[in-house]
Structure 1
Amino acid sequence: MSASPHYFGIRHHGPGSARSLLRAFEALQPDCVLVEGPPEAEGVLSAVLAEGMQPPVALLSYCPDAPRQAVYHPFAEFSPEWQALRWGLTAGVPARFIDLPLVHGLAMEKAEQDAAAQEVAEPTSDIEKPESGDAPEPGDPLTWLAHAAGYADGESWWNHMVEERGDGEQLFVAISEAMTTLRAETPERHRSEADARREALREAHMRQCIRAAQKEGFVRIAVVCGAWHLGGLQAEVTAKADAALLKGLPKLKVNTTWVPWTYRHLARASGYGAGIASPGWYEHLWRSHDSAQPRAVGWLARVARLMRERDLDCSSAHLIEATRLADTLAALRDRPAPGLDELHEATRTVLTMGDDTVLRFIDDALVVGDRFGSVPPDVPTVPLQRDLEQQQKSLRLKPEATQKTLDLDLRQPNDLARSHLLHRLNLLDIPWGTLARIGRSARGTFHEIWTLQWQPEFALRLIEASRWGQTLPKAATARVAERCAEVQSLAELARLVDAVLLADLDEAVAAATQALQDRAALTGDAQQLLAALPALANVFRYGNVRQTDATLVAQVLDGLILRAAISLPLAGSALDDAAADTLRDQLLAGHAAVGLRQSEAQTEAWQRALQQLAAQHGAHALLQGVATRLLLDAGRWDTPQAAQALSLQLSAGAEPAKAAAWLDGFLNRNAVVLLHDAAVWQLVDDWLASLSEEHFVRVLPLVRRTFSLFEAAERRDLSQRASQGAAVATAVMAETTWDEARAVLPLPLLRQLLGVSA
């Protein structure tokens, strides 16, 4: 007669369940441990006892041919399954996973996704079929037990009865009786037929694995599973029926490895289905159980340390009173020791004086926690991930779960290499670092400010990216080549050229530059051409600051400027106000790009295009005003020419709306032009003074609209200058005489500071 298995119904990631489980194992001394989990992972179970294995960690199982078909199985130090595996491996008894193999589970998931995609592409009826996520969420089975015991919800009831106690082996008898009865008496909890079938398949396979262990002659078989499955695993179902149910399931190839995990991803707030509310608190329960120090004292001491690090008042007297209050609240609620609720209330009352804002960082740092696990270096992984790990080690860039600011000085070889690494990862859609766009990180400086935060799912993205290459440079280069074929916008291609130069990928630069040149040769769209100029001009102007060969893009940039100059006059015609406003922004950005290029031929072509636009009949008045202003600033037009254009556009015969649009473009929506340019001030002043009363009344509302875009302080300064009279308004700065011999003296020092060669 075969031995009866011993069932241990647990809650995933429950410290009380784990503690009671170890006590039960010490009493039972099982000769075989069967754990709910993916059988494909048995090949990497030996790593559980490895020196470098530090939970939280997760088993990552994925399909090599379709890496997006993947699933994680996380474990914390206090997870019952983790402790069961460690016990079995340490004792030298077989430890196995018995859940439905992922070769079937992922294959069924892929089939369901393909079917759903087919239904979306080819709807078969007028009634849209809701996705499984749209169905009502089933109630927590523990809620009925919690209500019967007088608790508000199943979470608090389970914490009080199981996780915060851990009474021992007899706990599992009570759990089994309660959950089996609950499952038999409560209504069906599945959200869909697919969910019900999946659960039936899982339990059928687990029963088959239990039978197989019995046939092998094991006597003391320990089965560790989710408490809900106890009723299904102990049901009277024949082996033949289970075999028939499991027959003919689809298959996919699956690989499994270990990856680091974080408490934030173990939390329910992350979207993890079996997540818990307070991983950090559960870790404290697990580690403080055998400590001589009461868990309430230890917890409040950690809260006090956190507050003092932020210069918040927290004395020893505060801690004593908070401990007493927590103990009193636990006694009033008939609890053996304070739980998280009691400690929170004591903290709020005594330590933070009712200030909930302090509790927020306590919740973030302690209740959830920022722990980041690690795995041994010899676990199976793809070459691309191994290459990244080696670079992280050599560059001293440790992946961390918390946000970290990294200020890189690009004159330092190690910092420059770090920058290349982070830019390459971004090209592979692995945003470990986010580059700041303000402050010292602006283009043209020697600094890059990065915000780093490693996410566990980056491990899967590395697996996906491995199809492009086995090293980061090769993978990023291949990915860029693929994107060049996908991207349609010239502006996006120009930004891609910028990105690959920052990543120091010569082959990718050549591919992206060629794609940009080919695409530009086929388009005459001025807006696309203008949108591509700023990124390329930045690369050309500031490339040497980052020690990249920016001359690779000079030819492309020159060609784009010439094509944009040819297309600009025609593009400015027959536009409505919204389209003109959009083109204005692109025109200004393109003008700045031409200035960065500093090429006589390109500047000449661009200024000729501005002249044509400013004088062209039918061009939008806003763009004509902008073009006139840019020509005046560049010295291409002198003051009399600008005054003539202003008089023409703002004459009594001009339509008020067009006149106001031209003035808006000419002033460039910037009061600084009027405040600091005496010539412009005089031009506008002379025009206003020359208006007749009737024309002035017609133009006034439109001029007021233009001036309303200025800041209040700027309008105040304009008023003060106007009140000072014409003498100040017409004052012109005296021409400055430079001593060239003295002016060049600081140049060697400036070149040394800026790292610019002579």
Structure 2
Amino acid sequence: MATSADSIHFFGIRHHGPGCARSLLQALGALQPDCILVEGPPEGEALLPMLQSPDLRPPVAMLVYMQDEPSHAAFYPFAEFSPEWQALQWAGRNQVPVRFFDLPQTHAMALEAARRAALKQALAEQEDDAAEALEDPDAAEETGAAADNALAVVDDAPELEPVAEAEPVNPMPGDPLDWLALAAGFEDGETWWNRMVEERGDSEALFEGINEAMTAVRAEVDKDEQHWRGEDYARREALREAWMRQCMREALKAGYQRIAVVCGAWHVPALQKNVTAKADAVLLKGFPKAKVQATWAPWTYRNLASSSGYGAGVTSPGWYEHLWQCFEKNQAPAQDGIAQQATKTIVPAATLRTAGWLTRVAHLLRAKDLDCSSAHIIEATRLAEGLAALRGQPTPGLVELNEAIATVICMGESAPLKLIERELIVGDVLGSVPADVPQVPLQRDIEQQQKSLRMKPEAASKLLALDLRKDNDLARSHFLHRLRLLGIDWGVPSQDAQRNRGTFRESWQLQWEPELAVRIIEASVHGATVAQAATTKLRASLTPETALPEIAQAIDDALLANLPALVQALIHTLAERAATTGDVAQLLQALPPLANVYRYGSVRQTDTALLATVIDSLVLRAAIGLPVACMAMDEDAAAAMKTKVLAAHDALRLRGGEGGADADETRQAWRAALKSLAMGDAAAALLRGMACRLLLDEHLLESAEVVQQFNRNLSLGAAPMDVAAWLDGFLNQQALVLLHDEAIWGAIDAWLSDLGELQFAQILPLVRRSFANFSKHDRQSLGDKAKRTPVGGLGGGGAAVVTLRPAGAAGEPQPWDEQRALLALPVLGQLLGLNLPPALVDAAQDAPDFNVSAARA
């Protein structure tokens, strides 16, 4: 729409709308402007010459970031169907000057940084005031008195009469498009806009209608815009629109006669307002500045979707791409395989659009081995067209197509619909940028390694399985681990990667996100190459106050990333710190990652000779201080120490027997520390039971010795809590020792049998907690064993002896009594429905010397 001077023509568009893009091209062709102003950052004008490069393929985004703080960045995405992208392409083809006229990010980011700093300072002052109030009793008393007075005033206030029909504070919906949609009879603004604008094709009169609608909506919003979206939003929008008006005035002063203004439809009414240049200049006076840099970055349809959180996103980028291709070619996309009939009958573009989309759906479902025949497509097309006719629409839209697909093809199943939404309606499309775009050195090194390792970034998630015995796969693993150290999570270890860590297999889940471009820029301050940056960042994260476990984990990370110089330096640092620390908990926590490095270093071709000495030193120091460190612990501290000791014990087993006398000395010292825990009385009961179990598993205690510890720690004089804790530590969530060691089974049975009623009631909930950690199969096996094998007493060797009647007075089990067993045969025969031979029944009643084995034979 032209201004009164007929020099400025406004084209209010929706970002990433194919209908707006098509209509805009028609309008630009008719107007033939001599200057185009596009909503975008002025810093991006230096990137415009690259628009004609064939390597710049949308979706892409202009990335503007602060040089001092790269995490503070802004993206300006473009898709092939974005009106701004088509306007820039039209200007390039017709050699028309084009300018971005949004508020420069050099000012916007400086204002945002100042706002954040002010907010942070205000929060710090509030915390200081609160701390002073707590330290000053008088101030705290005054604060409490003021609060009491306020509560008293509230309590004494009269009750208000309820209003019958009170007006809501903000009766308007959150999205202005929803207001227009409700007035037109649609459920939401997205559906209404799609139907009226994006799916209708091209129309030069479209922009007049959009301008009229936005003017009406903004007239309502401008009455109280601060209340609608907040004061900060209203101020930012006012600054942006004032800057846009200033840019329009500058274009007029430059002598342009036909200026095309392409901006969001929401801004058009504000840009057409009669605001003086002086008022805008006052509003824009005194802007701070920040140093910013702009570049192109690949973008994805997934990030273009509104579901990603992008404020100007659309719900269906893949569908919009299909609409654009249909508009551009006036027929369905060539890859859909739909051809004109041999008779050259002209098929309407709307029909081809519908059939083309359904053909894409068929190709997708068939590729996933789902049933979708030609009959499905024909019937779905008919249903979609019928739905559109019933709703008074000339052609089916995405809503009608989805309903037809759900009814005819998916038969009401939701899983295929989710697949269609992810793969087609949204889509996994990743753009590309030329190699000569402005880049930091780290980004160039990453791209070079991606090419050399044949690891192409893709928008779709992909599982990458690596065989570390192959040189290329090993290099890929090093590359991905280095990126993770830099916070660039292009690849994430899959769930089974931890289980396969000791093998030659490693699994990664790869998915490229546009936000990673910002992470790369942030990481560039650490170095120009991936290896250099990872080394510098990891080294900088360790301070003189860093605990031993964190240093040990850093060694593990450096090993995985193949940073051998850093590994050696960190090992020396760990050895120095360990020599001066007496914290047993830190020594124990440092062992598991070091054991992983030692055990699997050969797989990654790493020298671990020095590491073995460090591990032995840590184990010796931990063994010396372990008995003392486990004294006087409460329940929570004992549980935490138990976890650390078990992890260290497993790590020592990974250390293995290599190393000669030093390794033997290390193992002996550790076993001596465990024996001191198990046999002593000073440590927590949980830790004593755990140590006893570890010694039993290492075959350092006989069953009789373990039974002796049972009798000592499960005696009637022990506190119920200590008894339950000792048993919990000994069982260690494993039932195998009860299922296979009859001596221990008998000891627990004897202990339970000797408990009185009161003691049994006290101990039962505590012991049940230990048994609840067993698996369902283990609990069932224990129950079967308890029913199948009643326990008598312990023989001289400590083994349980099975008997069918109580032991004698002397505690000795009775021998097998065949006569008594025969007496049960008639009753068992009746219960089990067995037809016993009469001779066997008679023998059971009349012949005490009857041979049971002969009768069975």
TM-score for the superposition, normalised by structure 1: 0.90
1:540/1:5 Cα in 2 relative to 1: closer, same or farther (>3 Å)?
same
The answer on whether the counterparts of 1:143 and 1:154 sit within 8 Å (CA) in structure 2 is: yes
Please point out which of 315, 327, 331 is paired with 1:292.
Answer: 331
Q: Which residue of 2 aligns with 1:329?
A: 387
Q: Does 1:607 align with 2:646?
A: no
Which amino acid is 2:56 matched to?
Answer: M
Deviations 1:39-71 (A, max 9, x none): 001001111221111111101001111112211
Q: Which residue of 2 aligns with 1:267?
A: 305
Q: Which residue of 2 aligns with 1:744?
A: none
Q: Which residue of 1 aligns with 2:712?
A: 648
The answer on whether the counterparts of 2:60 and 2:78 sit within 8 Å (CA) in structure 1 is: yes
Which amino acid is 1:269 matched to?
Answer: S
Q: Does 1:685 align with 2:743?
A: no
Q: Which residue of 2 aligns with 1:239?
A: 277
Which amino acid is 2:491 matched to?
Answer: G
Please point out which of 69, 72, 95 is paired with 1:69.
Answer: 72
Query: In structure 2, the residue corresponding to 1:71 is in which secondary structure?
Result: strand
The answer on whether the counterparts of 2:173 and 2:179 sit within 8 Å (CA) in structure 1 is: no
Q: Does 1:166 align with 2:201?
A: yes
* Alpha-carbon separation, structure 2, partners of 1:686 and 1:339: 76
Query: In structure 2, the residue corresponding to 1:68 is in which secondary structure?
Result: coil
Q: Does 1:454 align with 2:512?
A: yes
The alpha carbon displacement at 1:692 in A equals 6.3
Which amino acid is 2:179 matched to?
Answer: W
Deviates more, 1:709-718 or 1:89-98: 709-718
* Alpha-carbon separation, structure 1, partners of 2:726 and 2:321: 68
Q: Does 1:189 align with 2:192?
A: no
| Structure of greater Rg | 2
* Alpha-carbon separation, structure 1, partners of 2:171 and 2:300: 30
* Alpha-carbon separation, structure 2, partners of 1:121 and 1:324: 65
1:394-433 aligned at under 5 Å gives the runs 394-433=452-491
Q: Which residue of 1 aligns with 2:267?
A: 229
Deviates more, 1:718-727 or 1:34-43: 718-727
Please point out which of 155, 175, 185 is paired with 1:140.
Answer: 175
Deviations 1:640-662 (A, max 9, x none): 43333233223343334323322
* Alpha-carbon separation, structure 1, partners of 2:171 and 2:106: 29
Q: Which residue of 2 aligns with 1:175?
A: 210
Query: In structure 1, the residue corresponding to 2:72 is in which secondary structure?
Result: strand
1:145-544 aligned at under 5 Å gives the runs 145-186=180-221, 187-190=223-226, 191-289=229-327, 290-293=329-332, 294-438=352-496, 442-485=500-543, 488-544=546-602
The alpha carbon displacement at 1:589 in A equals 1.0
Q: Does 1:698 align with 2:734?
A: no
Please point out which of 5, 17, 36 is paired with 2:8.
Answer: 5
Q: Does 1:553 align with 2:589?
A: no
Query: In structure 1, the residue corresponding to 2:296 is in which secondary structure?
Result: strand
1:503/1:657 Cα in 2 relative to 1: closer, same or farther (>3 Å)?
same
The alpha carbon displacement at 1:354 in A equals 1.6
* Alpha-carbon separation, structure 2, partners of 1:203 and 1:691: 83
Q: Does 1:52 align with 2:55?
A: yes
Please point out which of 107, 111, 115 is paired with 1:112.
Answer: 115
* Alpha-carbon separation, structure 1, partners of 2:465 and 2:188: 47
1:548-587 aligned at under 5 Å gives the runs 548-587=606-645
Query: In structure 1, the residue corresponding to 2:602 is in which secondary structure?
Result: helix
Please point out which of 724, 732, 737 is paired with 1:673.
Answer: 737
The answer on whether the counterparts of 1:139 and 1:189 sit within 8 Å (CA) in structure 2 is: no
* Alpha-carbon separation, structure 1, partners of 2:299 and 2:394: 33
* Alpha-carbon separation, structure 1, partners of 2:422 and 2:106: 37
The answer on whether the counterparts of 2:739 and 2:745 sit within 8 Å (CA) in structure 1 is: no
Query: In structure 2, the residue corresponding to 1:545 is in which secondary structure?
Result: coil
* Alpha-carbon separation, structure 1, partners of 2:258 and 2:466: 59
The alpha carbon displacement at 1:551 in A equals 3.1
1:508/1:147 Cα in 2 relative to 1: closer, same or farther (>3 Å)?
same
1:546/1:201 Cα in 2 relative to 1: closer, same or farther (>3 Å)?
same
User: What percentage of residue pairs aligned between the two structures are identical?
Assistant: 55
Number of corresponding residues: 722
* Alpha-carbon separation, structure 2, partners of 1:703 and 1:177: 76
Q: Which residue of 1 aligns with 2:848?
A: none
Q: Which residue of 1 aligns with 2:780?
A: 716
* Alpha-carbon separation, structure 2, partners of 1:192 and 1:391: 46
* Alpha-carbon separation, structure 2, partners of 1:459 and 1:486: 32
Deviates more, 1:463-472 or 1:583-592: 583-592
The alpha carbon displacement at 1:552 in A equals 4.2
Q: Which residue of 2 aligns with 1:96?
A: 99
* Alpha-carbon separation, structure 1, partners of 2:354 and 2:470: 49
Query: In structure 2, the residue corresponding to 1:624 is in which secondary structure?
Result: helix
Deviations 1:448-482 (A, max 9, x none): 01111111101001100011001000100000111
Query: In structure 1, the residue corresponding to 2:671 is in which secondary structure?
Result: helix
1:48/1:114 Cα in 2 relative to 1: closer, same or farther (>3 Å)?
same
The answer on whether the counterparts of 2:172 and 2:179 sit within 8 Å (CA) in structure 1 is: no
User: Which ranges of structure 1 fall in alignment gaps of 5 or more residues?
Assistant: 128-134, 733-758
* Alpha-carbon separation, structure 2, partners of 1:182 and 1:433: 46
* Alpha-carbon separation, structure 1, partners of 2:526 and 2:282: 42
Which amino acid is 2:446 matched to?
Answer: L
Query: In structure 1, the residue corresponding to 2:429 is in which secondary structure?
Result: coil
The answer on whether the counterparts of 1:3 and 1:214 sit within 8 Å (CA) in structure 2 is: no
The answer on whether the counterparts of 1:385 and 1:462 sit within 8 Å (CA) in structure 2 is: yes
Q: Which residue of 2 aligns with 1:739?
A: none
CA RMSD of aligned residues (A): 2.6
Which amino acid is 1:364 matched to?
Answer: R
Deviations 1:521-555 (A, max 9, x none): 45433222222211111111111112222334323
Query: In structure 2, the residue corresponding to 1:8 is in which secondary structure?
Result: strand
User: Which ranges of structure 2 fall in alignment gaps of 5 or more residues?
Assistant: 131-142, 144-169, 333-351, 657-662, 802-857
The answer on whether the counterparts of 2:716 and 2:755 sit within 8 Å (CA) in structure 1 is: no
The alpha carbon displacement at 1:3 in A equals 5.7
* Alpha-carbon separation, structure 1, partners of 2:707 and 2:69: 67
Query: In structure 2, the residue corresponding to 1:117 is in which secondary structure?
Result: helix
The answer on whether the counterparts of 2:107 and 2:290 sit within 8 Å (CA) in structure 1 is: yes
Deviations 1:662-689 (A, max 9, x none): 222222221112334x4xx314414634
The answer on whether the counterparts of 1:3 and 1:218 sit within 8 Å (CA) in structure 2 is: no
Deviations 1:127-173 (A, max 9, x none): 9xxxxxxx999732222322222222222221111111133211112
* Alpha-carbon separation, structure 2, partners of 1:630 and 1:181: 79
* Alpha-carbon separation, structure 1, partners of 2:518 and 2:751: 71
Deviations 1:71-90 (A, max 9, x none): 11111111000000011011
* Alpha-carbon separation, structure 2, partners of 1:429 and 1:205: 37
Query: In structure 2, the residue corresponding to 1:485 is in which secondary structure?
Result: coil
The answer on whether the counterparts of 1:2 and 1:215 sit within 8 Å (CA) in structure 2 is: no
Q: Which residue of 2 aligns with 1:745?
A: none
Deviates more, 1:343-352 or 1:705-714: 705-714
* Alpha-carbon separation, structure 1, partners of 2:381 and 2:700: 79
Q: Does 1:621 align with 2:685?
A: yes
* Alpha-carbon separation, structure 1, partners of 2:534 and 2:754: 67
